[in-house]
Chain A
Amino acid sequence: MGEPDHGDVTRLLEEWTKGDRDALNRLMPLVYGELRRMSSHYLRGERENHTLQSAALVHEAYLRLVGRQNVHWKNRAHFLGVAAQVIRSILVDHARARAAAKRGAGAVTLTVNELSAVTRQPEVDVIELDTALNRLAHLDPQQSRIVELRFFAGLTNEETAEVLGVSASTVKRDWTHARAWIYRALTGDAPPANAV
């Protein structure tokens, strides 16, 4: 995989900002490729420190894609948004593939759950989370995006606030609420019949 074309990525980000959905579609594979390149390095332990600092990973991907000279605050925010979506789709696709493999024969060598033991990631059913997030997006689009940015892209409250253009305290409040809401949705405690 060669160096990504910085100008290209910047242009796509700008077009996407202006509302060009197609730009996002062309942007996704680039971001995906970059995350892929980097994560393989991380996992092979070719980094000085073996921890996967997620936010650092995403920021680094951004710098590589966009180039250090073109770092604009706005583009960076958009990029983080795209990255979060890409990561979400990677995980969901993988979980679906795994679920399909389970239904068929054949053992899957490496599962997300096995990895979760390594990365100390509390077990989360990604497919159910995805479904819950889609439901949440209908009720409260901003909360859904906050979860995406915090959980999938590993951003802090402050960074999330920056991307969404809201205050950090709003992010914190919405995050707490969204987390409780999703937790309830995933643990099967149905909301009372006549509420919401």
Chain B
Amino acid sequence: MTEEQRWRTAKEIFSGACELPAAGRAAYLEKACAGEAALRAEVESLLAAHTAAGEFLETPALATAAAVVAETLPDPQCGKRHGPYRIVAPIGHGGMGDVYDAVRDDGQYEQRVALKLLRLGFDAEFARRRFRVERQILAGLNHPNIARLLDGGAATDGRPYLVMERIDGVPLLDYCEQRKLDVPERLSLFLCVADAVAYAHQHLIVHRDLKPANILVTKAGEPKLLDFGIARVLEAGSDTDSNTTSLLLTPAYASPEQARGDRIGAASDVYSLGMILFELLAGERAYSVEGVAPAEAVRRITDSMPPAPSAVVRRRGDERLAKTLSGDLDNIVLMALRKEPERRYASVERLAADVKRYLDNRPVSARADTTWYRASKFLRRRRGPIAAAAAIALLLVGGAAATLWQARRAEMERARAERRFEDVKRLAAVMMFDVHDAIRDLPGATHARQLLVSASLEYLNQLSKEAGNDSSFRTELAAAYERVGDVQGNPVLPSLGDTAGAERSYRAALALRATVAGQELEKARDHFRLALCANARGNLTGALDELRLAITLDSKPSGSGATLALAADERMYAYLLGETGKIAEGLDAADLSTKLYERVASSPGNSARVARRLVPAAFGTLAFLKMESGDLAGAVATQQQTEALMRREEQANPGNATIEENHAEALYYLADWREKAGDLRAALGNYDEALTELDRLAELDAKDTLSRRFAAFCLAAEGEIRVRLGEARIGLGELMAAHAQFERLAAGSPGNYYVLSGLADTEERLGRVWLTLGRRGSARDSFEKSLDRWRKAEERAPLARSDALKMSRLREELASTSRP
């Protein structure tokens, strides 16, 4: 046998064995190797290697290669000049800027420096402001343990840069490990750091980002604090920056108040120093927030009690070190790490003084925490969640919260404290909404809004448990749930699209209101909201049930407010009756609704203005029901009336997005029905008008899915009409664009009934268009897709009558594609 043959044979037997369970391999090998001991040994050795190999080579080396390559890659900044400085090599890449090794070589004198260059892509204005602040602050600091600021300026591309003293050193923890420093040596280093921080505090500067990586120790053993990048002059009124800033922080060393986004002061640095001291002594962090979700990280920082450093060390089995740490050092560290800023060391100096006392074998001031404080933790917990996510809200609530703390100190004033606590709750609830509304329209606010929602809910759920029978508090909480529900997924408001979540919140509100007497209108409004949600999820029966409850409640009180609410109930009721095929009943309800609205509209008072705006909507519903009853001409006539009323309303209130939206919707239906009546040119004109309005609306608000949805409906309709009018190419393009738009919307709001029907409708239109163009195959595909969507929708909930009709129409259309 040649070498190649042996290799091949062994390989084949090996492959065969691999496919067998381990138990069957011996017999197989016996047979396959036919007494050739060497061959069998070879295969068995390979099989053993195969078993032992585990994940060997299974992870591609490319990631490593990329890292290696990047390591050797010259940074594009290298050799570049900023002012009199030339960049030599990158040192590190930080959150906001890149730090470079640079030299000043303008002929005056040569000096090695660290140059911090702002990274592009940040909010330039914000960053520039920060850099300016940083520059001012650092220029005022002159301490042997703080890296000095030398210069600053703007690069040619406009990026600001800072020039700092170049520190040749090793990060604090690495230094201690490398030199195997003992506890007293570590404490001495720590005292130098604390001294520098205390010096900064005397100059009213809080570092805010103290961490071991920001402390380098030079060869001479001198620690140097770097990166006062987010420090802030306490007295300067630059509060606006601080909250945004805190989000950029490394959370591992952040104080609870910082993690929550509270106002922070020198006590925050005391905490961070406590974290550093913990790690210096125990060799690991007090708690880990690495890789956990932000909310959980915040919870750990604000709620979890740090272990004693000695306990951590003991767990590792280092009994000797544990003995050194237990007692005074444990107490010092834990006192610095107390959750409540006012219960930590009053200043960095005090912390340092205690460490010094320990080194001098004198009694320290730190004592173990008392149970009384541990028991009072609940107060802090209540404040936790909402503050965590809504830094801005907390800034506003912060003042009241501080009063709360002070009040708590004096137990005699407990009653007053509780009253204040009520204030905080109410205040927080209100703030949350104001804040939400303020940020709603900011670009990129969706994530913040989601955080706000989840934090608010956590907070409200907690408070609900303690609501008891306090009716004013229950009412307050219910209102809060309603607002949160609106933000989550009110189908007719700009929301985050979480309909199910909204329903839960509305039900929570109802449950809270249930034991409170009166409040019919509020309860009715909850049922109305639930009806909207049910409708949005395609659950028409559920929606009708909710509306009946709302109508009963709204019929009780008198006054134009109640009439107005009842009119709204009736209108929606009418619409849904139409959708479920109860046309006659629906026409009655629609008629009643228009009359109720008109009655309020002609009455004196504020409600009249609102009612006037809704009269056209009621006419719209009436038109819709006429349409459903088969009275196409009547429907178009009423809808023309609707559209005219709305146009007038729009002209009277220029720039009102809601009115423009309603007008666009009216135009859409007018166009739709004219299309159905065969008046294609007029329909096209109305669609065009609607699209113009909708596009403008969508442009105004990137998150406005409602306008985009309607625009897609209009576009699809226009597309089909244009094909029917002979403009096939443009028409097809419009249909495709509409379909793509619906798909984008579906991705953002899966399960939304309107989006789904948009997709199905557009596909049906496409099918018809393909058929017109003689493309039977494509037509069949499109019809099938559309039908399939309805089928799936039907499985979830009974279809609206008009949609059920579409299904039967689609079946016919589908059948027609196979007819010659």
Binding site for B on A (CB under 8 A): 32, 35-40, 42-44, 52, 54-55, 57-58, 87, 90-91, 94, 110, 112, 115-116, 118-122, 124, 126, 139-140, 147, 150-154, 173-174, 176-177, 179-184, 187, 189, 191-192, 194-196
Contacts and interface: CB of A to CB of B under 8 A. Distances in A.
B69 A195 contact: no
A183 B45 contact: no
A192 B45 contact: yes
30 contacts: A32-B69, A35-B66, A39-B69, A39-B73, A52-B62, A55-B60, A57-B62, A87-B62, A90-B65, A91-B68, A112-B67, A115-B63, A115-B64, A119-B63, A122-B57, A150-B57, A152-B62, A153-B60, A154-B60, A173-B18, A176-B15, A177-B14, A177-B46, A179-B56, A179-B57, A180-B49, A181-B46, A183-B50, A192-B38, A196-B10
B292 interface: no
B644 interface: no
Contacts of A110: 67, 71
Contact of B66 (A42, A139, A173): A42
A52 B67 CA distance: 10
B55 A122 contact: yes
B412 interface: no
B61 A152 contact: yes
A189 B45 contact: yes
Interface of B: 3, 6-7, 10-11, 14-15, 18, 38-39, 41-42, 45-50, 52-73, 93
Given A44-B93, A139-B7, A154 B46 contact: no
A44 B55 CA distance: 28
Nearest to A46: B121
Nearest to A94: B68
A91 B39 contact: no
A126 B61 CA distance: 10
Given A195-B42, A196-B6, A124 B61 contact: yes
Nearest to B62: A54
A184 B49 contact: yes
Contacts of A195: 6, 10, 38-39, 41-42, 45
User: What 5 A-B pairs have minimum CB-CB distances, sorted nearest first?
Assistant: A39-B66, A54-B62, A154-B60, A184-B49, A195-B42
B117 to A, nearest CB: 14
A151 B60 contact: yes
A180 B50 contact: yes
A132 B690 CA distance: 71
Given A54-B63, A180-B47, A43 B70 contact: yes
A124 B64 CA distance: 11
A37 B70 CA distance: 8
Contacts of A43: 66-67, 70
Contacts of A36: 69-70, 72-73
A75 B15 CA distance: 32
A154 B55 CA distance: 14
Nearest to B56: A183
B65 A35 contact: yes
A121 B49 contact: no
Contacts of A180: 14, 46-47, 49-50, 53
A54 to B, nearest CB: 3
A32 B66 CA distance: 10
B182 to A, nearest CB: 24
Given A39-B67, A122-B58, 7 more contacts: A57-B66, A119-B64, A121-B59, A152-B62, A184-B45, A192-B38, A196-B3
Contacts, number: 157
Nearest to B90: A44
A176 B39 CA distance: 18
Given A39-B70, A179-B53, A179-B57, A152 B46 contact: no
A150 B57 CA distance: 9
Contacts of A118: 67
Nearest to A122: B55
Given A87-B65, A119-B64, A152-B60, A191 B70 contact: no
A112 B38 contact: no
Contacts of B7: 139-140, 196
Contacts of B18: 173, 176
A121 B66 CA distance: 13
A150 B60 contact: yes
A54 B53 contact: no
Identify the interface centre among B3, B45, B47, B58: most chain A CB within 10 Å of its CB. B45
Contacts of B50: 176, 179-180, 183
Nearest to A44: B93
A115 B67 contact: yes
Given A151-B61, A154-B60, A196-B3, A112 B10 contact: no
Contacts of B6: 195-196
A91 to B, nearest CB: 5
A87 B38 contact: no
A189 B38 CA distance: 15
B64 A40 contact: no
A35 B73 CA distance: 11
B236 to A, nearest CB: 33
Given A36-B73, A180-B53, A196-B7, A153 B41 contact: no
B679 to A, nearest CB: 47
B292 to A, nearest CB: 16
Nearest to B8: A140
A191 B49 CA distance: 11
A39 B65 contact: yes
Contact of A184 (B46, B63, B66, B70): B46
Candidate in B3, B41, B55, B59 with the most chain A CB atoms within 10 angstroms: B59
A58 B62 contact: yes
A182 B15 CA distance: 15
B67 A122 contact: no
B66 A187 contact: no
A152 B49 contact: no
A91 B49 contact: no
Contacts of A181: 46, 49
A153 B62 contact: yes
A192 B46 contact: no
Contact of A124 (B3, B54, B57, B63): B57
A129 to B, nearest CB: 8
Contact of A87 (B53, B56, B61): B61
Given A42-B66, A110-B67, A122-B56, A187 B61 contact: no
B77 to A, nearest CB: 12
Contacts of B47: 180
Contacts of B64: 91, 112, 115-116, 119, 121
A54 B58 CA distance: 12
Nearest to B53: A183
- Which of B39, B56, B58, B66 neighbours the largest number of chain A CB atoms within 10 Å of its CB? B66
Contacts of A154: 60-62
Contacts of A187: 49, 52
A183 B52 contact: yes
Nearest to B51: A180
Contacts of A194: 38
A187 B56 CA distance: 11
B805 to A, nearest CB: 45
Nearest to B57: A151
B120 to A, nearest CB: 11
Nearest to A154: B60
Nearest to A37: B73
Contacts of A174: 11
Nearest to A115: B67
Contacts of A37: 73
Nearest to A152: B61
Contacts of A139: 3, 7
A149 B297 CA distance: 41
A34 to B, nearest CB: 10
B526 to A, nearest CB: 41
